[in-house]
Structure 1
Amino acid sequence: MACSAPRPAPNDLNAFLKSLPLALALCLLGLIGGIVAHYAHFPLPYMLGSLFCVALVTGLMPRALPQNYRFPEHFRSIFIGMIGATIGAKITWDVLGQLPQVSLSMAALTLFVPLTQWLNFLIFHKIGGYDRPTAFFSGSPGGLIEAIVSGEAAGADVRVLAVQQFLRIIMVVTCLPIGLSLYYGHPVGSAAGISLNRTAVGVEHVPAVIAIAVVGLLIFRRLHIPASQLIGPLICAAIVTLSGLSVIQAPSWLISGCQVVIGTSLGTRFAGMDLKRLVKATGLSILSVGTMVAVGLAMALSIAPITGQHMDVLLISFSPGGVTEMALIALSLNANPAVVTLHHLYRIILTVVMLGVAKRRQWFPNPADQQGPGKL
């Protein structure tokens, strides 16, 4: 994808072009699921709706996809990059100016990430019986894409890993808004129809978003930055925003479209997953997410009197769910969504760095030496 990188081999390009029609057809199916989820008032409707729809169809009709089908990575990366650019644009000088006020909660978050990673590893390895790489990367409290990519390289069972990571996000972004909605007596988050964009954004902003995404992908992939397809555009957008060179905003329909592509690509990972395995993964996910939320709640309760921040806002900041949904919940509580986003970006970056260290230091055996899958 990079201009300065070697051009794709003809065989790779032909394979990509051949896989594109099926990918677009799957995205259309995902869009239908996203629209249904939107009108059903699901949180993160276009991502989760497309994920559920594609996973259901490919699960019921396993022959609908070619054997060992992989969603085109270069196609998906562009849309992940646009999400990264949109998030990075939320980092403004006003947000950075609040860093001293959130330094304690950031320090607590620095403890939260390795602690929950370790607890999750114990849950998936000791209780779930997963092999060490599958358990470690399944327990990542963030960085879904990087966890899957790094886990695959370390010899983890990708289907097990993908299911556990999907369930983490699904449970947090579904249960937390529902729980807070019951607590407050009214809907919160995207289920309340709230958007990160307070005003309508025109199509004229789209070229800038795409350009930032592409530039971030080109530069940071060559630097071998972990989760470069997300972090690269995010950093580039933050630089552009902070320097005042441009205002980076994405229309809601573009963000929804990106979520459809990402959700669709993730949904294809469920192909061939049987009900028994899914039930086991769900039980482990309930235990894992419950543990992470309990740790986050304990930290929020302990530092709330010192920081002066509301306990519920701190809980949202420590909840290992989707960045967008957590920001939407904060917005519905009249909290600064950018501050909540900053916490979650820091959580993701910490997690991605930790996964990168595990991968580069080769904490796990070579994939060729693995004796089998993750025993799901």
Structure 2
Amino acid sequence: MGHPLATLILLALGACSAFAALALNLPLPYLLGPLLAASLVATLAPQHLPSGYQFPPKLRLAFIAIIGLMIGAQVTPELFSDAPRLMLSFAALTAFVVLAHGFGYVILHNIGGYDRPTAFYGAAPGGLFESIAMGEEAGADAARLTLQQFLRVVAVVTLLPIGLSLWLGEPVGSSAGMTLARSSVPWSALPWIALAGVTGIILGQALRLPAKQLTGPMAIAAILSLTGLLHLDVPQWLVNTAQVVIGTALGMRFTGLTKALLMKGLWLTALSVGGMLVIAAGFALALMGPLDQPFDVLLISFAPGGVTEMSLVALSLSANPAFVTLHHVFRILITVVGLGLSARWLRARL
């Protein structure tokens, strides 16, 4: 149902929360600030929202495309200069997805007591929106599934940059002021950005890409960059606006959750995501020599969440953000393909 005034108020609240998170030096402040504020409204004061209110999905879709364009523009020919090592890394990442998903499933089903569909799709280490959509089709509990998937991303993009900041002795990621966007971009570039975004969304839908609202525009920007036809520079103000819109939209998905369910989700996330990060650290240690990459760069490449924030952390570490981004896109792809292939097996078990 359309409630433009409610949407404007929520976005204004999200913007204020973003500036507060920025003042506190939180990672990804323009995303996490609005997400936390909107989730508090959704869980503690849903009675103040219009009856049947839903955040406009097309608005969220448009701004997710902006993030995709920003990331895709970082892909350069140099990234593919060492194909054998890249293939080894992708093979290891495939093994990581299987192990991390299995570990998360055991935590959510055996310890958390979630039913099989909710535990299976809630434990997926990637493909946030696809996991939720497939899980709901399989009969999963929508509230618990949404909670676990969002908490996975929030936990990784919050805890990993903070942990690396403490280890390195200085801020990393967006809290260090890092960005993949350009601060000075002429207004004449906006029509090209809009055209690339729309084309990317259409491409993602036509090819049924995983996380198509992100990967479709990202593919368009990467193709333009790799071919030298056009390098898309996305202005910083547009990226910040996109994150406020996306964070507010994600936070509103918590509508209907109780305090008890939220607390249970938090400690299950601590167990499952903690285990996934330990597995990621093991792969990072094993691949340091063969891939000739530092441990911290490989760790953020395998961490199960936050494409944008992990790419910003890569900038802090003087690493190529496109290298990290490529690994996260592959993780999402493998996860979503695995969910699709496993759907028939899961239905048989049920």
Q: Which amino acid aligns with 2:220?
A: C
2:88 is matched with 104
Distance 1:318 1:223, change over 3 A: closer
1:47 shift after superposition? 1.0
SS at match of 1:195: coil
SS at match of 1:363: helix
Match status 1:246 vs 2:230: yes
Structure 1 distance, partners of 2:124, 2:86, is: 23
1:67 shift after superposition? 4.3
Structure 2 distance, partners of 1:352, 1:90, is: 24
2:56 is matched with 72
SS at match of 1:364: helix
Distance 1:97 1:51, change over 3 A: same
Q: Which amino acid aligns with 1:72?
A: P
1:184 is matched with which residue: 160, 165, 168? 168
1:364 is matched with 347
1:168 shift after superposition? 1.0
Alignment deviations for residues 5-34 of structure 1 (CA, whole Å, 9 cap, x no partner): xxxxxxxxxx4xx33443233222211111
Q: Which amino acid aligns with 2:347?
A: F
Alignment deviations for residues 145-176 of structure 1 (CA, whole Å, 9 cap, x no partner): 22222222222222211211121111111111
Alignment deviations for residues 223-276 of structure 1 (CA, whole Å, 9 cap, x no partner): 433432222212222222222221112111111111111111111122232221
Structure 1 distance, partners of 2:74, 2:6, is: 34
Alignment deviations for residues 79-111 of structure 1 (CA, whole Å, 9 cap, x no partner): 112212222222221212244333322221111
Match status 1:328 vs 2:328: no
Quick check: 1:200–1:251 contact (8 Å CA) kept in 2?
A: yes
1:148 is matched with 132
Match status 1:50 vs 2:34: yes
2:293 is matched with which residue: 293, 309, 323? 309
2:246 is matched with 262
Structure 2 distance, partners of 1:158, 1:337, is: 33
Quick check: 2:71–2:322 contact (8 Å CA) kept in 1?
A: no
Structure 2 distance, partners of 1:19, 1:150, is: 28
1:130 is matched with which residue: 114, 117, 121? 114
1:6 is matched with none
| Root-mean-square deviation (Å) | 2.1
Distance 1:33 1:220, change over 3 A: same
1:9 is matched with none
Match status 1:299 vs 2:283: yes
* Residues 256-295 of structure 1: pairs in structure 2 closer than 5 A: 256-295=240-279
Match status 1:228 vs 2:209: no
2:17 is matched with which residue: 33, 38, 45? 33
Distance 1:312 1:227, change over 3 A: closer
Q: Which amino acid aligns with 2:163?
A: G
Quick check: 1:132–1:364 contact (8 Å CA) kept in 2?
A: no
Normalised to the residue count of structure 1, the TM-score between the two structures is: 0.87
Distance 1:136 1:229, change over 3 A: same
Normalised to the residue count of structure 2, the TM-score between the two structures is: 0.93
SS at match of 1:230: helix
1:341 is matched with 325
Q: Which amino acid aligns with 1:286?
A: A
Quick check: 1:91–1:338 contact (8 Å CA) kept in 2?
A: yes
Percent of aligned positions that are identical: 48
Alignment deviations for residues 299-354 of structure 1 (CA, whole Å, 9 cap, x no partner): 11112122221111111111112111111111111122221111112112212222
Which 4+ residue blocks in structure 1 deviate beyond 4 angstroms? none
Gaps spanning 5+ residues in structure 1: where?
A: 1-14, 371-376
Structure 2 distance, partners of 1:136, 1:20, is: 36
